[in-house]
């Protein structure tokens, strides 16, 4: 009798193994994608809770910088309020991650599945608290540059060490704006939505000039692959190609904004220095290089210190 039971169990095991083997690679990938989406959902929610609870170090610092700068320069209060939104769920950085996950949920059944998995991998890296905290150094450093030297840059060398000009760290980041091309074929940075108010503070930035002379920013030098959607990366690549061709026709030299990392990053988490994992053909065909932004704050100072505030 026991031999019959054992035989039945072996038969069931073999049948199960056969059925598992019949699952196509496509079905396996779809299942993996669904599991990864669930994990990304949880991790994004956890990041939001960490922002709510004040557990993200640079989110707390961003708010502190905003309060200090509004006390020093009340006329910049509206601009500061917009920039410091990134310390909350309402900020463009967190909202961008939420939208990317929503887009993936709406298209994950559309091949190629390897590309979808790679996109989810990048998103899940971006929602890590340490990486998100590093990404917040850009809005922090914009406030620092607007403070006329009273607030120190974070995760980057000082304005004085970087050289002439003020780094407009959020330029080039599609979470805040985009490049728009005029009738002459020249592209300028356009802030969108609530960030349009930044156009009242920062000088207009032309793509070709920015590309050649841009200064360090976290997004362009370390975070571009993680904090951009595939569509945004493709748009950036198309603009780069179009501008290079235009320069060649004019006999001018074009320098890619993502050709090499700019110097200036200090004190970032180890994760930021680790390149994103490459899973698919999408990652190999895309230009996941680094870049930065340049622009000038009107009437801004040229020095920062190592402390939160230099004092007087």
pLDDT digits (tens, 9 = 90+) for 126-142: 999 999 999 999 999 99
Query: 157 phi and psi, to 5 degrees?
Result: -70, 165
Report whether pLDDT(312) > 80: no
Identify each DSSP E strand in 85-218 by its residue range.
Answer: 177-181, 187-191
Give the bridge partners for 303, in sequence order: none
User: pLDDT value at position 141?
Assistant: 96
More confident residue, 45 or 158: 45
User: Has residue 299 got a pLDDT over 50?
Assistant: no
Strands (E), 73-183: 177-181
- The pLDDT value given to residue 204: 93
Q: Is the pLDDT of residue 296 over 70?
A: no
pLDDT band at residue 163, thresholds of 50, 70 and 90? confident
Q: What distance in Å separates the CA atoms of residue 63 and residue 87, rounded to the nearest whole number?
A: 7
169: number of Cβ within 10 Å:
29
- Judged against a pLDDT cut of 90, whether residue 72 lies above it is answered with yes
Whether the per-residue pLDDT at 2 is higher than 60: the answer is no
- Please give the share of the chain, as a percent, with pLDDT higher than 70: 80
Q: What value does the mean pLDDT of the chain take? A: 85
Q: Percent of the chain at pLDDT above 90?
A: 63
Question: Is the predicted pLDDT of residue 260 greater than 70, yes or no?
Answer: yes
Q: Distance between alpha carbon 132 and the CA centroid of its chain, in Å?
A: 9
| Strands (DSSP E) found in the chain | 177-181, 187-191
- Out of 212-221, 240-249, 298-307, least confident range: 298-307
The answer to which of 35-39, 40-44, 105-109 has the lowest mean pLDDT is 105-109
pLDDT score, position 198: 94
For residue 288, pLDDT beyond 80: no
Over residues 261-281, the mean pLDDT reads 78
Mean pLDDT of all residues in 252-273: 88
Provide the pLDDT for residue 276.
86
Q: Tokens standing for 87?
A: 């310390």
The model scores a pTM over 0.95: no
């Amino acid at each position: 009798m026991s031999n019959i039971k054992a035989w039945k169990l072996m038969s069931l095991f073999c049948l199960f193994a056969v059925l598992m083997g019949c699952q196509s690679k496509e079905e396996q990938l779809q299942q993996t994608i669904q599991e990864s989406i669930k994990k990304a959902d949880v991790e994004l929610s956890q990041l939001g809770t960490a922002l709510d609870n004040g557990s993200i170090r640079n989110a707390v610092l961003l708010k502190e910088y905003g309060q200090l700068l509004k006390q020093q320069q009340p006329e910049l209060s509206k601009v500061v309020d917009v920039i410091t939104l990134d310390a909350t769920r309402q900020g463009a950085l967190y909202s961008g991650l939420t939208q990317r996950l929503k887009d993936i949920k709406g298209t994950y059944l559309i091949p190629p599945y390897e590309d979808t998995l790679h996109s989810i991998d990048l998103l899940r890296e971006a929602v890590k608290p340490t990486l998100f905290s590093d990404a917040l150094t850009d809005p922090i450093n914009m406030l620092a540059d607007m403070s006329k030297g009273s607030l120190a840059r974070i995760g980057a060398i000082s304005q004085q060490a970087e050289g002439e000009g003020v780094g407009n760290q959020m330029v080039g980041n599609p979470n805040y704006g985009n490049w728009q091309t005029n009738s002459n074929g020249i592209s300028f940075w356009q802030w969108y939505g609530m960030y349009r108010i930044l156009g009242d503070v920062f000088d207009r930035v032309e793509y070709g000039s920015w590309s050649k002379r841009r200064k360090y920013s976290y997004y362009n030098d370390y975070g571009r692959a993680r904090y951009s959607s595939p569509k945004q990366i493709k748009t950036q690549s198309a603009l780069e190609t179009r501008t290079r061709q235009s320069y060649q026709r004019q006999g001018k030299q074009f320098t890619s904004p993502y050709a090499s990392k700019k110097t200036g990053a200090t004190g970032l988490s180890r994760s930021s220095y680790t390149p994103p994992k490459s899973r698919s053909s999408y990652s190999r065909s895309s230009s996941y290089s680094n870049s930065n932004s340049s622009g000038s704050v009107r009437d801004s100072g040229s020095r920062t210190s190592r402390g939160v505030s230099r004092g007087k």
